[in-house]
Amino acid sequence: MDPLAEAENWVAFELPAGAAEPSEEAALYAVSPCDPELAGLVLFARSAQSHERLDASLAANPEAVEWRAIVRTPPWRDGCFEEAYGGRPATTKFSVVETRGPASLLTLSSSTGDPKVIRFHLARAGLAIAGDLKRGGAPVAGGLRLRIARIRMASEGIDVASPDPDSFWPVESLEVPEQPRPTVTVSNATAAALRRGHPWLVADADTSDIEMLAPGKLVDLRSVRGDSAGVARIDGRGRVAARVWSKRGKRGAIESVEARVAGALKRRASLLADDETDALRLIHGEADGLPGLAVDRLGPVLRVLLTSRACEPIIDRVLRVVIRQLATELGPAPPIVRVFHLAQPPPGRLRGVETSGGSLDGLLDSDGRLEVHERGLRFAVDLGLDDPYRPRPGTGLFLDQRENRSRVARAAAGGRWLNLFAHTGAFSAAALAGGAREVVSVDLSKPYLDWLETNLSRNGLAGAHHQSVRVDARRYLERLDHSERFDGIVFDPPTAARAGRRFWSVRREAGSLLAECLKRLNSGGLLLACRNDHAARTSLTSLIEEVAGEGGVLLERIDHAPPGPDFPRLAKFPEGIAFEGAIALRA
């Protein structure tokens, strides 16, 4: 066997998987890992003395070894997995080098230099290496697709590389197959909840092991009694183990991905026909039959938000249908921004914002924001590209509040309005565009207030009719002169946030603040209140009625103010409700 490279004290060979160590007249000492399952580059020392020195050098810098692996295409382009192995801290850095359909080639480095750690980290992230059958990797001819591709030890003058052979890419597809479907057992209580319509499988003591199942894998659900509980897609290793794909199970055909997307777009036909609006939700997760996946149109850009890995393998299929059906509006290759915002991502630091498709050149302003349009108004949205390792679900414009902004605009003419928790000022812009004589916008965040002023300027609404106040909403109301009143108040707080040294909680503080808002309304004044609290013990309408009664405020009526039609609600699934909204009219 000819060496790949050599020097006086060392020699490197390219070894196929299962090969015996090369024999020479002089004994050779393996420095880099030499595992029978691995193929690739192996470094040997020519003497015990050289071996001791090289081994110590490699132990001090295990990242001198560059690994390559083939896995199912990951949702992250690069990052670092951090999870202890064998009771000791361990990290694996990775980066996608090339993607061919459902398979990707990764380059990796390990803090331990142990291939077992690399295999462990990738499997824990739902990315078991092709051929790693023990950890759920796809079966491929030729065995494990993990190899050493390069060793660089500058202090020893070593830099040896071994290119990937053509056979390293498996001929088999790594795409999650639709059939056959394994069976996952769930408790009788869980099966009953799923049959009633809840779309999440929360693992309990009766749930069978899903550790070896890749995210997105279709499985049949069956209760302990043996009853069918439908078909689901595996989510991952968090609280939610799987998401329901069909309640029919084996009893009927399952609607295709393409049909689900087409149905979602058809339900939004009226919004898509609005020439003045190009910011809307096209796919809304479970309610559109695509659990954990949202697709928004933001002007010329498609933004994909993945909050579950259940739909991870089918994102490209979803996008193909969307792009084909919206080709007139978006063109054949629109820019795509993918955001992976998982509740429980693998431990580590992962790049969660990626771009693909067409170019964003010329679309972003000097602040890196994209302009979108809503019923004649212009807003700047943030695609999250400046901090891709901190993916965020929001963009600075809540699309689900579009209808409520229209309600405010219709009621605003000639009135004095207060926008508490103003965020980036979309409600303030709506009120001013609707003819409000004055709007006061209150928020504790200076960056948000600056963004708000930019939004107003885009619409020619900045000036004497508007005032920004940087202060906590509660403190603003406390400091307000007792005689000050408003014709309209918008109350749309975050669920939880830090307010200076205090911590804001909508559950704890919404009632008292709503009471203060009602007292500050003129006769005939309007309060738009919103709340995102799925565990609330009483409805928002009931809460408003309660605090109005306690404060002696007479209300003419309270109307529901739900999200727009592009944020549909799925029955029996309160977690999927974007927010609870109500409009109270003071008598």
- CATH number of the CATH domain containing 223: 2.30.130.10
pLDDT of amino acid 2: 82
Residue that finishes a domain, picked among 367, 391, 418: 367
Do 112 and 30 contact (CB within 8 A), yes or no? no
Do 204 and 166 contact (CB within 8 A), yes or no? no
Residue that finishes a domain, picked among 118, 140, 168: 168
Angle value at C-alpha 415, between 411 and 416, nearest 5 degrees = 125
pLDDT at 26 over 60: no
In angstroms, rounded to a whole number, what is the distance separating the alpha carbons of residues 71 and 104? 6
Question: 123 with 85, same domain?
Answer: yes
pTM: 0.91
The verdict on residue 372 lying in a domain is no
DSSP code at position 471:
S
pLDDT band at residue 27 using 50, 70 and 90 as cut-offs? low
The verdict on residue 241 lying in a domain is yes
pLDDT of amino acid 233: 96
Average pLDDT estimate for 179-194 = 91
pLDDT band at residue 25 using 50, 70 and 90 as cut-offs? very low
Question: 346 with 406, same domain?
Answer: no
Average pLDDT estimate for 23-33 = 71
Question: 218 with 196, same domain?
Answer: yes
pLDDT of amino acid 21: 60
Instruction: Report strand pairing: 279-284 vs 293-298.
Output: antiparallel
pLDDT of amino acid 239: 86
Query: Cα dist. 255→79, 234, 310, 360, 541 in Å?
Result: 35, 18, 16, 34, 37
**Of the listed ranges 145-159, 261-275, 499-513, 572-586, the one predicted with least confidence:** 499-513
* CA 56 to chain CA centroid, nearest Å: 42
Question: 46 with 81, same domain?
Answer: yes
Do 162 and 148 contact (CB within 8 A), yes or no? yes
pLDDT band at residue 499 using 50, 70 and 90 as cut-offs? low
The verdict on residue 393 lying in a domain is no
In angstroms, rounded to a whole number, what is the distance separating the alpha carbons of residues 226 and 224? 5
- CB-count exposure of residue 137 (10 Å: 0-12, 13-18, 19+): buried
- CATH number of the CATH domain containing 326: 3.30.750
Q: Token pair of 217, please?
A: 């894998």
The verdict on residue 320 lying in a domain is yes
Query: Cα dist. 577→284, 294, 400, 562 in Å?
Result: 10, 14, 10, 9
pLDDT at 14 over 70: yes
Question: 450 with 579, same domain?
Answer: yes
Counting residues of the chain whose pLDDT is more than 70, the rounded percentage is: 95
Question: 346 with 458, same domain?
Answer: no
Which residue would you say has higher pLDDT here, 533 or 68?
Answer: 68
For the chain, how many helices (H) and strands (E)?
Answer: 13, 32
Instruction: State pLDDT tens for residues 281-338.
Output: 999 999 999 999 999 999 999 999 999 999 999 999 999 999 999 999 999 999 999 9
* CA 253 to chain CA centroid, nearest Å: 30
Question: 227 with 272, same domain?
Answer: no
Domain that holds residue 577: 399-586
In angstroms, rounded to a whole number, what is the distance separating the alpha carbons of residues 4 and 218? 45
pLDDT of amino acid 321: 98
pLDDT of amino acid 83: 96
Question: 428 with 502, same domain?
Answer: yes
pLDDT at 104 over 60: yes
Residue that finishes a domain, picked among 168, 196, 221: 168
Mean pLDDT over all residues of the chain? 92
Question: 534 with 404, same domain?
Answer: yes
pLDDT band at residue 423 using 50, 70 and 90 as cut-offs? very high
pLDDT band at residue 34 using 50, 70 and 90 as cut-offs? confident
pLDDT of amino acid 28: 83
Q: Token pair of 565, please?
A: 């039609």
Question: 342 with 488, same domain?
Answer: no
Angle value at C-alpha 438, between 436 and 444, nearest 5 degrees = 120
Instruction: State pLDDT tens for residues 232-252.
Output: 999 987 889 999 999 875 556
Counting residues of the chain whose pLDDT is more than 90, the rounded percentage is: 80
The verdict on residue 386 lying in a domain is no
pLDDT at 498 over 90: no
Question: 542 with 419, same domain?
Answer: yes
Average pLDDT estimate for 391-409 = 97
Question: 159 with 13, same domain?
Answer: yes
**Of the listed ranges 460-474, 486-500, 510-524, the one predicted with least confidence:** 486-500
- CATH number of the CATH domain containing 99: 3.30.2350.10
Which stretches of 83-187 are DSSP H helices? 115-124
- CATH number of the CATH domain containing 428: 3.40.50.150
Domain count, the chain: 4
In angstroms, rounded to a whole number, what is the distance separating the alpha carbons of residues 170 and 373? 46
pLDDT at 414 over 50: yes
